[in-house]
Chains A and B, each alone.
Chain A
Amino acid sequence: MNRPVLTTSLALASLALATSARATEVVSTSLSAPIFPQVLTLYAAEGPLFPATPEGEAALVDASALTFAQLLDACQDFDGAYTIVVDPTTPEEIAANYDEIARCSYEQYTVKPYWIPALVDEVDICERTLGEDWHLLGEADVGALGEEGLTFVHDTLASVVGAWGWGSFYFSPQVYVRAADGSLAAADLTPGLTTPRIAPLPVAPGDDGWTRHYEAGLSLRCVKVETTTE
């Protein structure tokens, strides 16, 4: 009698079809444009002049940080010195905007990758400037990128870099990161590294350099992760 065979095979088919129909998880990761400080503002508030209160630190961030969105707007001034497409519709326009913003930020606002470590550590700059969905890149985020993600980020930036040569820090793989132990650290997002990707900063809370601008070329990038199903 073939009834057992029929029953078994139909059950297998049902199970397989049910498995096939299971929702697919979609993980969307956004790595923000770097947020840099206007260093002339930072220089006037470092060391002994560093804010003594959280409110003062937050105010210093507000006064010095420039986001990509702010620069997209501001760099349209300056008598057309920068070619900014307000609503870019092509990949070429988006790439050109990125390159122009990098140049404008440096030339017009003295933006440099010199954040004061204490500010990055003690103020949630990502949430404050971009919104609550964003947070400082964490060691776990870097791990989740994997070699594929790191290569994708690297190749994307390499395909965008233009001819100006200014604002090269907009293309840097060196970033601030929140290490797994909670400390502020540096991460190298270069794909294919054989050396440790996360490294402690040479300054720590309590050190004199902790409240002074740090010229290590570290970018501050934020991350937003959204998970949906389809």
Chain B
Amino acid sequence: MLRPGSLGLVGLTLASLALGGCVDGGRPLATGHADATTGTTATATPDVSTPTTAPSVGLQADGSIRFVRRGP
């Protein structure tokens, strides 16, 4: 049975989890991911091992270079 003190710990744990889940300001991206809204892209040096908010996407069919940054 939970005591009031236990509920306090649960609350603090929830707070820690919630804070820890948004330290990077959102969903991390990896360089080289295609953006689902733009269709096919030609990307530079894909690296899916490093979570980052660095630019993604790449050369588009219209010759433009497109990249996306996500932040809080």
**A, B in one complex:** yes
Are A156 and B44 within 8 A (Cβ)?
yes
Are A24 and B55 within 8 A (Cβ)?
no
User: Known interface pairs A19-B18, A89-B40. Does A5 touch B5 (Cβ–Cβ under 8 Å)?
Assistant: yes
Tally of contact residues, B, Cβ under 8 A: 43
Of all chain A residues, which has the CB nearest B41? A91
* A6 interfacial contact with B, CB 8 Å: yes
Of the candidate stretches A46-54, A114-122, A157-165, the one touching chain B is A157-165
What 18 additional pairs, Cβ within 8 angstroms, besides A6-B8, A9-B7? A1-B4, A5-B5, A5-B8, A12-B12, A16-B16, A17-B18, A22-B22, A24-B26, A24-B27, A24-B72, A26-B69, A27-B68, A28-B67, A28-B68, A29-B69, A31-B64, A32-B64, A94-B60
User: Known interface pairs A9-B12, A16-B15, A95-B42. Does A152 touch B55 (Cβ–Cβ under 8 Å)?
Assistant: yes
Tally of contact residues, A, Cβ under 8 A: 52
Q: What residues of B have a CB within 8 angstroms of the CB of A2 in the complex?
A: 3-5, 7-8
Are B42 and A160 within 8 A (Cβ)?
yes
Are A90 and B65 within 8 A (Cβ)?
no
Q: What residues of A have a CB within 8 angstroms of the CB of B72 in the complex?
A: 22, 24-25
Per the bound structure, the CA–CA distance linking A137 and B27 in Å amounts to 29
Are B67 and A29 within 8 A (Cβ)?
yes
Q: What residues of B have a CB within 8 angstroms of the CB of A24 in the complex?
A: 25-27, 70-72
